[in-house]
Homo-oligomer: A and B are copies of this chain.
Amino acid sequence: MNIIAPLSPSRPRVDDALRALIANRVPGHSLDAPFYLSQQVFDLDMEAIFARHWIHVAVEPDIPEPGDYITVDVGRHSVVIVRDDDQQIRAFHNVCRHRGSRLCQEQQGSVGNLVCPYHQWTYTLDGKLAYAEHMGAGFDKRAHGLKPVHVQSLAGLLFICLADTPPTDFARLRDEVEPYLLPHHLNDCKIAAQIDIIEEGNWKLTMENNRECYHCAANHPELTISLFEYGFGYQPSAANAQQLADFDALSQRLESEWQADGLPSSELDCLDERITGYRVRRLPLDRAGESETLDGRVASRKLLGNFQRADLGGLSFWTQPNAWFHFMSDHIVTFSVLPIAPEKTLVRTTWLVHKDAREHEDYDIENLTAVWRATNSQDRALVEMSQQGVRNPAYQPGPYSPYAEGLVEKFCNWYVGRLTAYCLE
């Protein structure tokens, strides 16, 4: 009902001031303050970005068995994702078609049918309304099934799209990226740990933070044990020339070996060129070169897939607008960023190991999660300091490093481009 638009917080108001804000973004610089603060921009973000693109929210091992469901909040939306009895994964808006009660209350569970707690309207796992008492003879159950949400599994990574007509270039991404991901057999993994943190900052500051390692050396002592900063952009100088040359030689040698083993590793980057922007690359790790751990060695003795060697570095996969992933020989870490409010964001981190790996024997949860628990906590502090800073009326967008912040710039380009496209619709 269009008439309620101005009263509905889910329909963003795009006025001249907002159009001008978008049009006047200065390339190569951080965004103007309202992008990080304004409720109006946030509403636009939720509609133009999060309700129109493929959003990573979960992994198949979140719902391993038929009847398993999870609920995911994307802005004001709540979506229930369920594995049907025929193993098909389906997603629905988590709201009853009677008087609109939230249907599934828990973050996860296992059910036979989806039963509304209010008046017991009962839906089957494919969303059909199977039972509704007292509704009389003229009531058409077929017109009151759950509203579906698009869902795709990419080698076990689940993406939803709230739009009626999702971007079609996800198919192209699948063709290009699945060869990188499939060897890790994510669907043969189990979730070893999942931790949600709330950052008191705009989701874009979380994403910008993820898209550079300029801040790593001074802020991430645990992560930089295994992570080479050189992989993320560096200003060459006399002082670091030898190290850069060594890193390049190592990268080339390992990439050849990995490709020979059937593991695609070279960089694909269409972060700001496509609607469904992404980047993927397998990079060497430091020390033992096996995993993002405190000693560079595998955290789980049970290797994934059919891997015969542990030193496969780290396959990094980044997707616009809200996720990144690290696939290693022994475990996988996934990150999903979900906006809550202009200045509040959920970051969900999921650690996956082989489903046959035994806790205490094959892996230890403290050790498995040590690097990213510490790193997430450090990044949260940085995001929150940034949020405090952009709140200051004296904040002025500053220049990105041409060496170390190229992917941040691509994130902003993609974001501003997508808003622009929405406003032109």
Residues of A participating in the B interface, judged by any CB pair closer than 8 Å: 1, 3-10, 15, 17-18, 20-21, 24, 30, 32-34, 37-38, 40-41, 51, 76-78, 93-103, 105, 117-120, 133-136, 139, 144, 147, 208, 214-215, 218-219, 233-235, 382, 385-386, 388-405
The reply to whether B10 and A17 form a contact with Cβ atoms under 8 Å apart is no
Further pairs besides A33-B100, A93-B392, A102-B388: 17, Cβ < 8 Å: A8-B33, A8-B38, A93-B394, A95-B392, A95-B395, A99-B208, A100-B389, A101-B382, A101-B389, A102-B389, A103-B389, A117-B385, A119-B215, A119-B218, A133-B401, A134-B234, A136-B402
Q: Known contacts A21-B7, A235-B133; decide if A215 and B118 are in contact (CB<8 Å).
A: yes
Q: Which 3 A-B pairs have the closest CB atoms?
A: A93-B394, A10-B393, A7-B34
Provide the residues of chain B in CB contact with A118, threshold 8 Å. Answer: 215, 219, 382, 385-386
Q: A102 contacts which chain B residues (CB < 8 A)?
A: 385-386, 388-389, 392
A-B residue pairs in contact (CB < 8 Å), sample of 21: A4-B33, A6-B15, A7-B17, A9-B38, A30-B98, A77-B394, A95-B395, A99-B208, A99-B386, A99-B398, A100-B392, A101-B385, A101-B386, A117-B385, A134-B233, A134-B235, A134-B401, A135-B401, A136-B235, A144-B399, A147-B394
A396 touches B97 (CB 8 A): yes
- Cβ of A161 to closest chain B Cβ, rounded Å: 13
Partner of A18, one of B1, B7, B77, B394: B7
Cβ-defined contact, A219 with B117, below 8 A: yes
Task: Determine how close the nearest CB of chain B comes to the CB of A147; give it in whole angstroms.
Answer: 5
Find the B residue at minimum CB distance from A121. Answer: B398
Write the nearest CB–CB distance from A384 to chain B, whole angstroms: 9
Residue of B nearest to A105 (CB): B385
Contacts of A208 in B (CB 8 A): 99
- A contacts with B: majority SS: loop
Most buried by B among A3, A15, A208: A3
Chain B residue nearest to A38 in the complex (CB): B7
Q: Given A118-B215, A393-B77: A98 and B398 within 8 A (CB)? A: yes
Q: How far is the CA of A37 from the CA of B393 in the complex (A)?
A: 22
A76 adjacent to B391 (CB under 8 Å): yes
Determine if B399 and A98 form an interchain contact, defined as CB atoms under 8 angstroms apart: yes
Per the bound structure, the CA–CA distance linking A203 and B404 in Å amounts to 45
Q: Nearest residue in B to A17 (C-beta to C-beta)?
A: B6
CA distance A94 to B76 in the complex (A): 34
Query: In the bound complex, what is the Cα–Cα distance between A390 and B93 (angstroms)?
Result: 12
Name the residue of chain B whose CB is nearest to the CB of A205.
B99
A100/B21 in contact, CB under 8 A? no
In the complex, what's the smallest C-beta–C-beta distance from A109 to chain B, in angstroms?
15
Measured in the bound complex, the distance between the Cα atoms of B96 and A397 in whole Å is 10
Which listed residue (B15, B32, B37, B215) contacts A1, Cβ 8 A?
B32
Contacts of A18 in B (CB 8 A): 7
Q: CA–CA, A33 to B133, complex, Å?
A: 24
- Complex CA–CA separation, A392 to B162 (angstroms): 12
Tell whether A21 pairs with B4 under 8 Å between CB atoms, given A95-B394, A386-B101, A394-B93: yes
Q: Report the Cα distance A3→B397, complex, angstroms.
A: 15
A119 touches B214 (CB 8 A): yes
- By beta carbon, the residue of chain B nearest A3 is B20
Q: Is B395 touching A100 in the complex (CB atoms < 8 A)?
A: yes
**Listed residue (A9, A10, A95) with the most chain B CB atoms within 10 angstroms of its CB:** A95
With contacts A102-B385, A385-B118 taken as known, whether A34 is within 8 angstroms of B391 at the C-beta atoms is no
Which residue of B4, B233, B382 contacts A20 across the interface (Cβ within 8 Å)? B4
Closest CB of chain B to A157's CB: distance in Å? 24
Taken together as a complex, chains A and B put the C-alpha atoms of A144 and B30 apart, in Å, by 14
Given A21-B4, A398-B144; A95-B385 close (CB under 8 Å)? no
Which among A117, A390, A400, A405 has the greatest number of chain B C-beta atoms within 10 A? A117
